[in-house]
Amino acid sequence: MSIRSILILKGTDAKAQATFERFLANPRPLDTQSETRIHPVCIKPAIDKVVAFLALLFLSPLLLYIALRIRLTTSGSIIFRQERLGYGEQPFMIYKFRTMYAEAEAEGLPLLSTASDPRITPFGAFLRRYRLDELPQFWNVLKGDMSLVGPRPERRYFAALLAEQVPAYHLLYNLRPGITSLGMVKYGYASTLSQMLLRLKYDLLYYEHRSLFLDLGILVYTVRTIIGGKGI
């Protein structure tokens, strides 16, 4: 792993804040030559799809167990599908194991979840703690909707709120969203708009310094988070 990637992963909030303020003052357009140099256009998608295929293959017993457990303990669908905005600001359907009771957003209002959210099932809380509910997103990666590492995809409603506060948010649409991200390993889940803005600082930091080495470091940190049960 490169020294720069280590410094970013080990860095303080000050580095993310400085990047955030710089983008806020002067959002830069995507440098396509830099994108090609840092994230080779053929290498990253190929690695993503190979890893996603192997993950789905080797984790299939665990996926089957989780699916059966959800089916036996709650009503409703096993897989939760929700529209998110991805590369080029194009909508796609993200897949997760369902962790909430059926009709959790019956009123149609987009809501953010919290660690003590009463809509979350007991088994769903376990899945979220170890981020096992995210496993179906390997299918999103295999389809080309997502990457292993990238900015966190948001619903159109919350994406609009973020872009209104920080116009540079639109720069993240130049990258495929990821199952995990620098924002997730350095900040974690967000339950309010203000927390989403704090996490956005790290996604912008990732945008500026993205590299395959940094991706590798984020994946290592993600595995540590999962093993430690610190997903929430």
Please give the pLDDT value at position 187.
Answer: 85
Q: How many Å apart are CA 168 and CA 151, to the nearest integer?
A: 13
Radius of gyration of the chain from its Cα atoms, rounded to whole angstroms: 17
pTM: 0.85
DSSP assignment of 212-226, as one string?
A: HHHHHHHHHHHHHHH
Please give the pLDDT value at position 33.
Answer: 40
Please give the pLDDT value at position 62.
Answer: 97
DSSP assignment of 177-220, as one string?
A: -EEE-HHHHHT---SSHHHHHHHHHHHHHHHHH--HHHHHHHHH
Please give the pLDDT value at position 117.
Answer: 83
Residues of the chain with pLDDT under 70: 1-17, 19-42, 104-109, 115, 230-232
- Chain segment 118-133, per-residue pLDDT in tens: 889 999 999 999 999 9
Please give the pLDDT value at position 11.
Answer: 61
- Please tell me the number of Cα atoms within 13 Å of 10 on its side-chain side: 7
Please give the pLDDT value at position 154.
Answer: 96
